[in-house]
Chain A
Amino acid sequence: MAAYALRRLGTVLLILVVMSLLVFLATHALPSNTAALILGQYSTPETLAALEHKLGLDLPLPVQYWHWADAMLHGDMGQSLVMERPVAPILWDAFDRSAILAVLAMAIVATLGITMGVVAAVWRGRWRDHTVSVFAYLGISVPEFYWGLVLILVFGSRLHLLPTSGLGNLSDGLASYASFLVLPVVTLTLTLLAHVSRLTRSSMAEELDSMYVRVARSRGLPERVVIVRHALRNALVPTITVLAQDFGFLIGGIVAIETIFAYPGLGRLLIFALQRQDLPLMQAAILVLTAVFCLANLGADLLYGVANPRIHHGSAVD
């Protein structure tokens, strides 16, 4: 297992290198380069050439990549072109704020989603199952930002219960700070919850109908043990895979949700960078989000191995 984990970690590093190359090349495919963006409409061919030389943009691409990657590895993400400040502090502040949203949403999704799926599968065809499916269908049926809009309409514009945009101030107390998080986190949760509960239900239903569950029941094991120790353990295998996929979806969701709630996180920063063509900011934001995503995938793979011992990593067993 340890060897497997190490090998996978190596793969993650490889993936990051490939990603950094892609990001680097993609941003260099953009119509304008950093020098042109800095000089704007006042550029002349001479000033452009001078600045390109100063920034090293006239060097061959591999050399440029090497300089950029080397700086990145030392935590130097360059200067934001639009804000004219170093990228790193801006980015890590935004990262922390997004992480709060993501961790809260993911924790709710994992616990509540699996519980709802199991409840629906155990009481298949009864009202509990129907309630969960109606909820799942509603949750999954519109993009998350639409729920954000509906929640803003109901809780903000009509009821005036919760703040609908921005970020709370910790000096106003924890309750006030948390009130700013409620709507974004609920919005993030809704869609993913539907996905996870739906998948858990279908894989759980399959396990509950399988031979080994029937055998376990006929051995007189308590229903709770059969459900949790036997069926759920197997049903969790596909669910874990989906949870990891959902983490990517969550990152996508964060981009839209931070935009609609004007929440100053990494997602909104990325959209800002893309719209304003702020290349260093764009590169750094994408790389950081990719790294987070890789690590989540790695974690899911390791969990997958723990949950399903039938799959032995590396060696084929038949």
Chain B
Amino acid sequence: MAARLTDAVALDVVAARRSPLPRALIIGATIVLVLLIAAALAKVIAPYPFDQMHIRDRLSPPSLHYLAGTDEYGRDVFSRLLIGSQLSLLLGVIATLISMGIGVPLGLLAGYRRGLTDEVIMRALDIMMAFPPIMLVLLILAVTQPSLVKTAFAIGVLSAPPIGRVTRSVTLDLMSGEFMEAARARGERLHYVLRRELLPNVWPLLMVEASLRVVFAVLLGAVLSFLGFGVQPPAADWGLMISDGRAFVDKAPWISLAPGIAMSITVIGISLLGDGLREVLDPRMDGRR
């Protein structure tokens, strides 16, 4: 209870002192919000169906008709970008939720209990991390039929060990804190210590890590599509679009560049949001900047 009270007070003080929110948070949140709306309304906003071919307008440069130009089949790149945003965001969010659900509890427990628990958990995570990230996904996708859910699950499981490790290393640093000593002296239960004492303090760094993980999932998903093991054509996946445009990079660079820019904006938006949240949430960030 005590820890929560001081946290709440600290947050209020921070909020009061720094009335204008961090710029990163505002810009990041705006970008993410716009993206979410665009993805939700993609079908309504898109000027053309994503797979409609305009044979006469193949490889035409960006214009008022085709905002981001057309590809080698005369499909509107802008419409495809909009539909593609759904795939990317879905992949990022599902994968990250899976990885946090596995990684956070394990990391907290390992860092707090130390000893045998720590050893067992960390060895298990080591074994998971021993596979170079892309190998496991490639192996799974090469053996089975690729699908978005399977890709998200594989990436999520892969991201759990890094989340667990970060959680553990932050927990280890927190262990020598006075509030932990106090909790121990009060004889608090394990569950209470993990959730009420450690988690709130680990959370800020975890937010940064979570934003990195969403980004990781979006990017790895793009790599997989690029290599031909992810989302399959004719889906309007950003990675797939970049890959398809490679052959036309001289004549029609917009086919590859446009989805790259869209991905870049997405990833920057999520990263800024993570950074901004950190500045607001982390009590230790008080008075910085």
The residues of A with any CB-CB pair to B shorter than 8 Å are 11, 15, 18-19, 22-23, 26-27, 29-30, 124-125, 137-138, 140-146, 149-150, 152-153, 157, 195, 202, 205-206, 209, 237-238, 241, 245, 248-249, 251-252, 255-256, 259-260, 270-271, 274-275, 277, 282, 286, 289-290, 293-294, 297, 311, 316, 318
26 contacts between A and B (CB under 8 A): A15-B126, A19-B130, A23-B139, A30-B142, A124-B288, A137-B268, A137-B272, A138-B268, A141-B268, A142-B263, A143-B242, A143-B263, A145-B223, A145-B242, A146-B222, A146-B260, A149-B242, A149-B260, A206-B284, A209-B288, A245-B129, A255-B138, A274-B142, A286-B135, A290-B135, A297-B130
Chain A residues with Cβ under 8 A from B123's Cβ? 11
Interface residues of B in 67-123 (CB under 8 A from A): 114-115, 123
With contact pairs A137-B268, A238-B169 given, residues A143 and B219 touching in the complex (Cβ less than 8 Å): yes
Which of A144, A237, A248 contacts B133, CB < 8 Å? A248
B161 → chain A closest CB, angstroms: 9
- The reply on B250 being an interface residue by CB < 8 A is yes
- The reply on B240 being an interface residue by CB < 8 A is no
How many residues of B are in contact with the other chain, CB < 8 A? 54
Interface residues of B in 162-200 (CB under 8 A from A): 162, 165-166, 169, 172, 175
Contact A255 B130 (CB under 8 A): no
With contact pairs A149-B256, A252-B223 given, residues A274 and B249 touching in the complex (Cβ less than 8 Å): no
Q: How far is the CA of A144 from the CA of B223 in the complex (A)?
A: 8
- The reply on B229 being an interface residue by CB < 8 A is yes
- The reply on B283 being an interface residue by CB < 8 A is no
Contact A275 B126 (CB under 8 A): no
Minimal Cβ-Cβ distance residue in A for B229: A274
Q: Which 10 A-B pairs have the closest CB atoms?
A: A252-B134, A141-B267, A141-B264, A251-B132, A316-B114, A15-B130, A146-B260, A293-B132, A143-B219, A143-B222
Which of B220, B227, B249 contacts A271, CB < 8 Å? B227
Chain A residues with Cβ under 8 A from B250's Cβ? 153, 157
Contact B208 A202 (CB under 8 A): yes
Q: How far is the CA of A113 from the CA of B289 in the complex (A)?
A: 21
Which of B132, B140, B169, B253 contacts A241, CB < 8 Å? B169
Contact A137 B271 (CB under 8 A): yes
A305 → chain B closest CB, angstroms: 13
Chain A residues with Cβ under 8 A from B61's Cβ? none
A265 → chain B closest CB, angstroms: 14
Q: How far is the CA of A137 from the CA of B31 in the complex (A)?
A: 14
A200 → chain B closest CB, angstroms: 13
Chain B residues with Cβ under 8 A from A143's Cβ? 219-220, 222-223, 226, 239, 242, 263
Which of B138, B143, B162, B267 contacts A30, CB < 8 Å? B143
A201 → chain B closest CB, angstroms: 11
Q: How far is the CA of A69 from the CA of B134 in the complex (A)?
A: 23
Which of A125, A149, A275, A282: most chain B CB closer than 10 A? A149
Contact B130 A138 (CB under 8 A): no
Interface residues of B in 212-252 (CB under 8 A from A): 212, 215, 219-220, 222-223, 226-229, 239, 242, 246, 249-250
With contact pairs A140-B271, A142-B263, A318-B175 given, residues A255 and B139 touching in the complex (Cβ less than 8 Å): no
B198 → chain A closest CB, angstroms: 15
Q: How far is the CA of A239 from the CA of B51 in the complex (A)?
A: 45
Q: How far is the CA of A290 from the CA of B140 in the complex (A)?
A: 15
Contact A142 B260 (CB under 8 A): yes
Contact A245 B162 (CB under 8 A): yes
